[in-house]
Structure 1
Amino acid sequence: MICVAVANQKGGVGKTTSAINLATALAATGSRVLLIDLDPQGNCSTGFGIPHAERVRTSYEVVVTGAASIVDAALATKVPRLDLIAATVDLSGAEIEMIELADRTHRLAKALAEAPAGRWDICLIDCPPSLGLLTVNAMVAADSLLVPLQCEFFALEGLSQLLQTIDRIRSRFNPGLKMLGVVLTMYDRRNNLTEQVAQDVRAVLGEVVFRTVIPRNVRLSEAPSYGVPALIYDHRCPGSEAYIALAREVIGRLPRIAQAA
């Protein structure tokens, strides 16, 4: 199973929206997808319409207490071939609860290693907007990292901090961690600043940046309130079409998925 962490320590960059819709698009191509909500806000779970009453075994039990396995916690979603491990506010205390554990940085990696071979083709991890222990667990468990980056003035400042964290994770815990790519989000063609930021990011990072950009789109914002991904809410809206295009690029950068699809 290929594991991709969707991470950015800055909030409001479209990270959860990207995780939800990219997972949906990948499942639509035939891949068996596991999406792990590792954010205490649980927005990813809400985006799939999972009520709190059904969040009995969650990523908290998988990562923090070890009371549930990956298979036990996985919930089937409305999207065929897409399973979700939900999150609750219990995760908000994870940093304190795990600090004394000897394997605190490898809890998620160990849980994923115990998943049955062939159950899922790809795992996406929706990380919290911080560089704490939960995000470190995701990076240690992941093969690669996908970074949503909002097209705004301070975008590159936060990215440099994230890249430094990735280097530390590689040197200490996961030397095989790769950068899958940076995806530009909340792109507004009517705004000159947006285009300037996009050009600056591409000038600095080059081919690491995906060709596909995710536009500002009302449908992407509306979909979570209906408990479905935007690709189901309105598959013809510009936002949905952009995530379908992004999925194609992701598959192209993950040859093993391309071969299996």
Structure 2
Amino acid sequence: MTKVIAITNQKGGVGKTTTSVNLAAALAKMKYKILLIDMDPQANATQGIGINRDYIELSTYHVLTGEVGLEKVIQHSYIENLDVAPGEIDLAGIDLELAHVKQGREVRLKQALDKVKDYYDYVFIDCPPALGLLNTNALTSCDTVLIPVQCEYYALEGLTQLLNTIKLTQNHFNKKLSIEGLLLTMLDQRTNLGLEVSQEVRKYFKEKVYKTVIPRNIKLSEAPSAGICIFDYDSSSVGAQAYKELAKEVLSRNG
């Protein structure tokens, strides 16, 4: 049974794409069949897995406009078992592009994904840092939501809005939608603030928060510029070890 997980938080810079790429890569290296769908106009997940976003002919944009099916967009990445549906800058205009569509624009990704998802064990959707049609399509398509939360002062800011969006999606498009988990990211253990925020998030969300915490790590920041995942950039780094542990935790939660 395929599990579809959207990785989202409308707050930018919290580690969504880093998590999407490296969690997908970790599971692919464990021999699971993985599809990574890039719904962000910046297409950083696409670039971060070694696909040049400047030379993409077909992307998730063309799926949402109804020009092609998802199977026409999917590419093999350099990592065995990891396929990518690339994103591109044109996604930024999708709300305007589909403004005239009165019915079904929120379920276009779901309809396309339903035709191919059975080939995969896990599908991860990398969402943009904004609430709009791209995120609605992602939330309508997925089983659960993984929310990266940066260990900083404004960590909980915007979470209420995101949770409301999830509830609205449940009510209107996807009754079974639930929270997969909250992932604490960019923790600097040298600061009291990071530890305080970590405790605060765990206090509110309890067992929904992963035990694994992603630390601040320069190697995680450098890997995307090389177009490779953290395991191929520096497998001994604390960042690589953290994402390997997260992959194990995701597997254990999904039995």
The answer to whether TM tops 0.5 is yes
Q: Which residue of 1 aligns with 2:35?
A: 34
The structure 1 segments of at least 4 consecutive aligned residues displaced by more than 3 Å after TM superposition are none
Please tell me the residue identity of whatever aligns with 1:60. Y
Instruction: Quote the offset at 1:68 in angstroms.
Output: 1.9
Cα deviation digits, residues 134-189 of structure 1 (max 9, x gap): 00100000000000000011111211111111111111111100100000000010
CA contact (8 A) 2:53 2:87 kept: no
Please tell me the residue identity of whatever aligns with 2:196. Q
- Residue 219 of structure 2: SS of its match in structure 1? helix
Instruction: Quote the offset at 1:100 in angstroms.
Output: 2.1
CA contact (8 A) 2:74 2:83 kept: yes
Cα deviation digits, residues 110-135 of structure 1 (max 9, x gap): 00112163x21111000000111100
Instruction: Quote the offset at 1:53 in angstroms.
Output: 4.6
Q: Which residue of 1 aligns with 2:209?
A: 209
Aligned-pair identity in percent equals 44
Could you tell me how far apart the structure 2 residues matched to 1:228 and 1:92 are? Answer: 25
Aligned residues: 253
Q: Does 1:145 align with 2:148?
A: no
Q: Which residue of 2 aligns with 1:127?
A: 127
Could you tell me how far apart the structure 2 residues matched to 1:116 and 1:127 are? Answer: 18
Could you tell me how far apart the structure 2 residues matched to 1:115 and 1:203 are? Answer: 39
Cα deviation digits, residues 73-94 of structure 1 (max 9, x gap): 1111111100001111111100
Q: Which residue of 1 aligns with 2:112?
A: 111
Q: Which residue of 1 aligns with 2:85?
A: 85
Please tell me the residue identity of whatever aligns with 1:218. I
Q: Which residue of 2 aligns with 1:259?
A: none
Alignment of 1:1-261 (within 5 A): 1-63=2-64, 65-101=65-101, 102-115=103-116, 117=118, 119-255=119-255
Cα deviation digits, residues 20-42 of structure 1 (max 9, x gap): 00000111111100000000001
Could you tell me how far apart the structure 2 residues matched to 1:197 and 1:217 are? Answer: 18
Cα deviation digits, residues 3-62 of structure 1 (max 9, x gap): 100000000000000000000011111110000000000111110121135411110011
Could you tell me how far apart the structure 2 residues matched to 1:87 and 1:121 are? Answer: 21
- Residue 176 of structure 2: SS of its match in structure 1? coil
Could you tell me how far apart the structure 1 residues matched to 2:61 and 2:78 are? Answer: 23
TM-score scaled by length of structure 1: 0.95
Could you tell me how far apart the structure 1 residues matched to 2:20 and 2:51 are? Answer: 16
